[in-house]
Amino acid sequence: MNTMLKLAPLVPTRPRFLAAAMIALLIASGCHRSEGITQYEVERLSPAPATPTQETASRPERMLGGMLAGKDQMWFFKLTGPPDKIASLTADFEQLMASVELTQTGSVQWKLPSGWTEEAGQGMRFATLRPPGDDKLELTIIPLPQTSDDLDGQMLANVNRWRGQVGLSPATAESWKADTRQFGKVVAVDFEGTSSGGGMSSAAPFANMMRGAPPQETPPPAAAPKLAYQLPEGWRDRGAGGMRKAAFEVASTAGRVEITLIDLDRGAGDRLANINRWRGQVGLPPITEAELPKAINSVPIAGQMGDFVELPGDPAAEKRQSILGVIFDRGVQTWFLKMQGSPEIAAAEKEHFLEFASSLKFE
């Protein structure tokens, strides 16, 4: 395990006030009555930088991570939190990683440690696992398409993304495996350092790393595109955040669905890999390249045509879910509009989903 880094706290500077100048003006003016209104142009002082809060200041953090190469996807398992809390969960994490297996459908399965709970995935997440005793800790499971045959390169890129999130320097192609352990087919890491809550956007761009590209300095962020759309009746706006450019929810006594809109690097837009990833999330077997044309339909979205799929899910599943999804390319990005959740609500909201897609515009 890497040695924890310690960063000196930043001390914000305070602007100087013009109190002395103001007092001098008052003395010079005396008590004489002005014959008119005199206007002054006064320098506006910038407010003092905010003191780092508990949420934004650098803090010690430990990360347990696992990577599993599937047929068309790479699976990522990650648990982060304060070092003392993660230390108490290390044995459970190792037990969990040892139990992970690939299924015949290309998905994954595992055995939950005692006391842990499991939540169905939403958005990019396949599932969220929570340890007992702390509802703020979560182990996320996220699959992403494999866009390269260089699995070691993809794993190294992800290792360096994770290392960057806890303030550690990048590993090299020669050194990174020394920091890993093997649990079955899962390659696991254990990092400790400092974090300021960087999330998936920390270090080099996520999609580039998935292709096994070497770590690069992050360029200045481009201005986020402005979106316009017509919100269907009954859809609740959940707001944008993280990778989500927009998020909505429809809920009733029958259940709920979540609608998300995200964008990724164009290299992550392979239709077959993404559709098979979605199929795995609802318990359906993967399809082949030859079957792909029959699985998708063209629908209007954002002033162009996108690829639409409707996946009703495995009827025999204990917690059956459906997915409606549209994938479309725009510039150097691939966009994903996805509805996931209750099959009954998804079926009832299909028309609204397609109307929303058609109304979407970039301004």
End-to-end, the C-alpha distance of the chain in Å comes to 47
Is 223:265 a contact under the CB 8 Å cutoff?
no
Q: Where are the beta strands (DSSP E) in 232-330?
A: 236-237, 244-252, 255-265, 297-301, 304-311, 322-330
SS3 state at 276: helix
Return the number of other C-beta atoms located less than 10 Å from residue 37's C-beta. Answer: 5
Residue 170: predicted pLDDT: 85
Residue 63: predicted pLDDT: 95
What's the pTM?
0.48
Q: At 26, which amino acid appears?
A: L
Q: In three state form, how does the secondary structure of 175-219 look?
A: CHHHHEEEECCEEEEEEEEEECCCHHHCCCCHHHHHCCCCCCCCC
- What are the per-10-residue average pLDDT scores of the chain (363 residues)? 40 42 44 39 41 57 94 88 94 96 86 92 82 90 75 84 86 88 94 66 40 40 74 92 86 90 87 88 87 95 96 84 95 93 94 96 89
Nearest to 188 by CA among 80, 120, 93: 93
pLDDT tens-digit profile of 141-174? 998 876 556 788 888 888 888 888 888 888 888 8
CA 165 and chain centroid, separation: 13
What is the overall mean pLDDT for the chain? Answer: 78
* CA distance to 197, 260, 324, 347, per residue, from 296 (Å): 38, 19, 11, 17
In the chain, the domains with their CATH numbers are 59-195+204-210 (no CATH), 227-362 (2.60.120.1690)
pLDDT tens-digit profile of 300-359? 999 999 999 999 988 887 788 999 999 999 988 999 999 999 999 999 999 999 999 999
pLDDT tens-digit profile of 102-114? 987 778 899 999 9
